[in-house]
């Protein structure tokens, strides 16, 4: 079961989104049918938040209203992505099972009235979730309208309650084997934390001062596994009755809670949601960042953009409105990078409830609106791209991404509070995106041999296996850039002794770091090549590497800051500070050249995004997006699927999908 089974059923790429008809009544449903046809919608996600309707009281299911909507959509040529509603238990559930409500680290027990208010480790919640997933699958498992199963919504709710504590202990026993091993792994010899019985072991709840970092990392690992187990239970219940593919929509921007690589392996199709945190070029780069991560999690196979917004989206304490043209540009940005379609949250903008002001495909103003016109235009465009279904994207560069390393930087007591996981990760991807190079993400223990260049921006934690793998990669001819504070701790979050980073990586890089020198907030240093650094500096010694740039301040004056080491047939670079964006971009440009990596399409100016999708039979398509304000002549004109004519140039903000030769 793959993405192909969905696109075969749809006869092309997917277009549509979350459909919540329970918010409306019959005349509106009739209008939905007509407008969905107009917008070329072919896939609707039903039932994401419908638990209260589907099971009005414990154990009594009512599927009649859902029957009617599925039949109506089917008659209208719209396939169904059927959700299990388990991300929002109804009020009766929480009253009947108050112990299943989530508890925060500070002990506050939450109450219903929002969504996602449950402890995933609670037995009552888990069995209610399994039961309703199974009931839905039994009823609709082989319905001809059904294209895809959508389990839950954006897993990621953590809990610190007693159920979580009990499940955490079971997980710890399995991981560590004995209490002695746990004590050793958690370094409980410090601060008198030695445990003498399993009952004493708790989730990292609110504490007086720093929590034990190994306990924090293990808690994240535990939840990463528990979330996957909860998903698999529903998936397996569905598989008893249905042969359609099963997925869950990953919320990658907040994947702090997910063990993404392991989770993705359990999904028949990787699907993800993406809401940009900026407009303009930064917004487009954000699209590319999450699309490339989704494709990488899918192992390069086609994946599906499950949700995006048409305009206003919430980003922390601010609301961002997309610019005119972004609906098409962002949809094609995802499709360019391997998505088998473009879906949205949600079809019709709510008139009441918590997301009344979140944009939708059909805004409050109705079809006579800029947003609906852009949605219709995008639906036409996606329909014209049917032949891309099943084609894939290849990359010559990888950025390393490891949830263990991310969780290690979530812990207390770090060598600097300014060490951050995501900013350097996004920074590395952005420098490659600016250079017109498509990047994959990869785990440090993956086989990296197909990449010419690998960048490790944020590997504070690096396993022994990962360190050995990176050395093998360099010796075998790869070009590797490792960035500051890498390999400082092992998988137990224990500091590496004898100099950083982990020994096999030190040998690959030909360096040894003997002291870390975090920079103060306002501190910006200059290197001998004129570039600037912030956040971090290190006293490092070359052990075979050459110095490319050195420090020019304080006790580090004249000591190496950026090094290069040739070993085997490859080279390992080490950058011991956080460079300013422009300087970092120049370094990445130099490494691309050294590694012989060219932009996807030559001859395009900066700001024109170009990605190629390849079919197994040799056909290919170049997806081009002009993010600049100028008309750009195309170096290699070709047949544009969007207009059906030969494209010679791209107007400002325009897109084209050219058949390659």
- Applying CB under 6 A, the span of 211-219, 282-290, 307-315, 519-527 interacting with ligand GAL comes to 307-315
358 binds ligand GAL (CB under 6 A): yes
Whether residue 334 contacts residue 274, with contact meaning beta carbons closer than 8 Å, is answered with yes
DSSP string of 606-641, one letter each residue: TTEEEEEEE-TTS-EEEEEEE-SSS-EEEEEEEEET
Bridge partners (DSSP) listed for residue 562:
549, 575
Q: Is 294 in contact with 338 (CB distance < 8 Å)?
A: yes
Sole binder of ligand GAL in the list 268, 307, 404, 440 (CB under 6 A): 307
Give the nearer residue to ligand GAL in terms of CB position, either 374 or 600. Answer: 374
Long-range contacts of 364-368 (CB under 8 A, 24+ apart): 367/35, 367/38
In the complex with ligand GAL, the residue whose CB is nearer, 182 or 327, is 327
Give which of 224, 200, 325 is closest to 650, Cα–Cα: 325
Closer by beta carbon to ligand GAL, 343 or else 656:
343
Q: 31, 99, 355, 380: which one contacts ligand GAL (CB under 6 A)?
A: 355
Q: Which stretch binds ligand GAL (CB under 6 A): 55-63, 258-266, 305-313, 440-448?
A: 305-313
Interface with ligand GAL in residues 244-283 (CB under 6 A): 251, 273, 275
Nearer CB in complex with ligand GAL: 248/576:
248
If binding means CB under 6 A, how many residues of this protein chain bind ligand GAL?
11
Q: How far apart are CA 253 and CA 291, in angstroms?
A: 11
* 3-state SS, residue 602: coil
Element (H, E) at 148: strand 146-150
Based on the residue annotation, tell me whether 34 is a catalytic residue of this protein: no
Shortest Cβ distance from residue 359 to ligand GAL (Å)? 9
Select the residue interacting with ligand GAL from 154, 440, 491, 640 (CB under 6 A). Answer: 154
| Residue 81 touches ligand GAL, criterion: CB under 6 A | no
154 is an active site residue:
yes
What is the arrangement of strands in the sheet containing 397-400, beginning at the earlier edge strand?
Answer: 439-442, 397-400, 453-456, 479-483, 570-575, 560-567, 546-550
Q: Residue 360 phi/psi, 5° resolution?
A: -145, 175
In the complex, the smallest distance separating the C-beta of residue 345 from ligand GAL, rounded to whole angstroms, is 4
313 sits near ligand GAL (criterion: CB under 6 A):
yes
Q: Measured from the CB of residue 307, what is the shortest distance to ligand GAL in angstroms? A: 5
Residue that the structure tokens 């950026």 belong to: 562
The residue (of 275 and 303) whose beta carbon lies closer to ligand GAL is: 275
For ligand GAL, the closer CB: 153 or 216: 153
Least Cβ distance, residue 230 to ligand GAL (angstroms):
17
- Report the first-to-last Cα separation within the chain, whole angstroms: 31
Q: Does 116 bind ligand GAL (CB under 6 A)?
A: no
Among 59-67, 94-102, 294-302, 306-314, the segment contacting ligand GAL (CB under 6 A):
306-314
> Is residue 362 classed as helix, strand or coil in its secondary structure?
strand
CA distance 81 to 83: 6
CB of 48 to ligand GAL, least distance (A): 6
C-beta of residue 268 within 8 angstroms of C-beta of residue 2: yes
Q: Look up tokens 């103060």; give the residue.
A: 520
Query: Which residue among 307, 445, 491, 507 is the active-site one?
Result: 307
Q: Is 153 in the site for ligand GAL (CB under 6 A)?
A: yes
Residues numbered 457 to 476 that lie near ligand GAL (CB under 6 A) are none
Q: Which residues of 102-118 are buried (b: 16+ CB within 10 A; e: fewer)?
A: bbeeeeeebebeebbbb
Is 232 annotated as a binding-site member? no
Please name which of 329, 428, 305, 403 lies closest in space to residue 13, comparing C-alpha atoms: 305
**Would you call 313 helix, strand, or coil by DSSP?**
strand
Is the CB of 310 or the CB of 531 nearer to ligand GAL?
310
CB of 133 to ligand GAL, least distance (A): 18
Nearer to ligand GAL, 248 or 259 (CB): 248
Contact 349, 360 (CB under 8 A): yes
Annotated ligand binding at 183? The verdict is no
Token digits of residue 133: 């997933």
Annotated catalytic residue, options 55, 154, 374, 609 = 154
Measured from each CB, the residue nearest to ligand GAL is 345
Residues in the annotated binding site for Zn(2+): 119, 159, 161
- Catalytic residue list: 154, 307
Residues in the annotated binding site for substrate: 115, 153
Residues in the annotated binding site: 115, 119, 153, 159, 161
In the complex, the residues that contact ligand GAL under the rule CB under 6 A are: 153-154, 251, 273, 275, 307, 309, 313, 345, 355, 358
């Amino acid at each position: 079961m793959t993405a192909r089974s969905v696109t075969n059923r749809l006869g092309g790429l997917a277009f549509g989104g979350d459909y919540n008809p329970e918010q409306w009544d019959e005349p509106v449903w009739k209008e939905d049918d007509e407008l969905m046809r107009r917008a070329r919608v072919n896939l609707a996600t039903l039932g994401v938040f419908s638990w209260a309707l589907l099971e009005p009281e414990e154990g009594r299911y009512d599927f009649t209203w859902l029957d009617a909507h599925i039949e109506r959509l089917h008659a209208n040529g719209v396939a169904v992505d059927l959700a299990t509603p388990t991300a929002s238990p109804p009020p009766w559930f929480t009253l009947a099972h108050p112990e299943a409500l989530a508890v925060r680290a500070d002990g506050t027990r939450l109450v219903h009235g929002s969504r996602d208010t449950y402890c995933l480790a609670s037995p009552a919640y888990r069995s209610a979730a399994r039961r309703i997933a199974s009931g839905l699958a039994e009823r609709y498992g082989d319905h001809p309208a059904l294209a895809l199963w959508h389990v839950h919504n954006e897993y990621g709710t953590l809990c610190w309650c007693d159920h979580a504590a009990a499940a955490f202990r079971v997980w710890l026993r399995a991981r560590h084997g004995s209490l002695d091993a746990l004590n050793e792994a958690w370094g409980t010899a410090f601060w008198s934390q030695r445990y003498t019985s399993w009952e004493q072991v708790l989730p990292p709840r609110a504490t007086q001062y720093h929590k034990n970092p190994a306990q924090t990392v293990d808690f994240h690992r535990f939840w990463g596994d528990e979330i996957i187990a909860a998903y698999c239970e529903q998936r397996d219940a569905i598989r008893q009755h249905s042969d359609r593919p099963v997925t869950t929509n990953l919320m990658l921007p907040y994947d702090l809670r997910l063990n993404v690589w392991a989770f993705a392996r359990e999904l028949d199709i990787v699907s993800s949601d993406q809401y940009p945190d900026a407009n303009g070029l930064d917004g487009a780069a954000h699209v590319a960042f999450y699309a490339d991560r989704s494709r990488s999690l899918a192992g390069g196979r086609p994946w599906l953009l499950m949700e995006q917004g048409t305009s206003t989206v919430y980003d922390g304490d601010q609301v961002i409105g997309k610019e005119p043209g972004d609906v098409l540009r962002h949809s094609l940005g995802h499709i360019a990078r391997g998505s088998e379609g473009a879906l949205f949250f949600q079809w019709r903008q709510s008139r009441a409830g918590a997301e009344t002001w979140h944009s939708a495909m059909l805004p409050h103003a109705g079809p006579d609106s800029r947003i609906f016109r852009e949605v219709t235009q995008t639906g036409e465009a996606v329909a014209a791209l049917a032949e891309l279904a099943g084609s894939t994207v290849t990359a010559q560069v990888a950025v390393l991404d490891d949830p263990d390393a991310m969780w290690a930087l979530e812990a207390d007591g770090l060598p600097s509070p300014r060490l951050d996981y995501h900013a350097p990760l996004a920074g590395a991807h952005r420098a490659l995106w600016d250079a017109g190079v498509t990047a994959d993400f990869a785990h440090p223990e993956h086989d990296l041999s197909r990449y010419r260049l690998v960048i490790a921006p944020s590997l504070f934690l690096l396993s022994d296996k990962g360190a050995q793998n990176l050395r093998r990669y360099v010796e075998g001819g790869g070009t590797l850039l490792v960035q500051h504070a890498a390999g400082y701790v092992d998988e137990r979050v224990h500091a590496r002794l004898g100099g950083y980073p982990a020994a096999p990586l030190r040998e690959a890089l030909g360096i040894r770091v003997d002291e870390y020198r975090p920079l103060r907030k306002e501190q910006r240093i200059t290197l001998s090549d004129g570039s600037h650094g912030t956040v971090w500096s290190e006293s490092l010694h070359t052990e075979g590497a050459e110095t490319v740039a050195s420090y020019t301040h304080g006790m580090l004056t004249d000591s190496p800051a950026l090094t290069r080491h040739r070993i085997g047939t490859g080279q390992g670079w080490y950058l011991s500070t956080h460079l300013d964006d422009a300087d970092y971009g120049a370094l990445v440009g130099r490494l691309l050249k050294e590694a012989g990596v060219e932009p996807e399409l030559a001859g395009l100016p900066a700001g024109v995004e170009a990605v190629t999708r390849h079919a197994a039979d040799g056909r290919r398509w170049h997806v081009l997006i002009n993010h600049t304000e100028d008309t750009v002549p195309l170096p290699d004109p070709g047949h544009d699927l969007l207009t059906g004519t030969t494209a010679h140039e791209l107007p400002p903000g325009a897109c084209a999908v050219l058949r390659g030769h």
